[in-house]
Amino acid sequence: MNIILLGPPGAGKGTQARHLVETRGMVQLSTGDMLREAKNSGTEMGNRVAEVMAKGQLVTDEIVIGLIEEKLTTEKGAGFIFDGFPRTLAQADALAALLSKLGQSLHTVIEMRVDDDALVDRITARSTCSGCGEVYNDHTKPIPADGRCTNCGEQKEFTRRADDNEDSLRTRLMEYYKKTSPLIGYYYAKGDLRPVNGLADIKEVTASIEAVLG
170 is catalytic: no
Of 31, 127, 128, 208, the residue at the interface with ligand AMP (CB under 6 A) is: 31
Half-sphere exposure of 156 (CA within 13 A, CB side): 17
> Of these residues, 18, 36, 87, 194, which one is catalytic?
87
CA distance 161 to 54: 9
52 binds ligand AMP (CB under 6 A): yes
End-to-end CA distance of the chain: 11
122 is catalytic: no
**Residue 26 DSSP label:** -
Q: Which neighbouring-strand residues pair with 4?
A: 82, 109
> Of these residues, 71, 126, 148, 156, which one is catalytic?
126
CA distance 140 to 93: 38
56 binds ligand AMP (CB under 6 A): yes
According to CB under 6 A, which residues from 153 to 172 bind ligand AMP?
163, 172
Give 64 or 81: the residue with its C-beta nearer to ligand AMP. Answer: 64
Instruction: Specify the stretch interacting with ligand AMP by CB under 6 A; choose among 18-26, 52-60, 93-101, 197-205.
Output: 52-60
Nearest C-alpha neighbor of 177 from the set 119, 98, 110: 119
161 is catalytic: yes
Residues that bind ligand AMP (CB under 6 A): 9, 31-32, 35, 52-53, 56-59, 64, 84-85, 87, 91, 163, 172
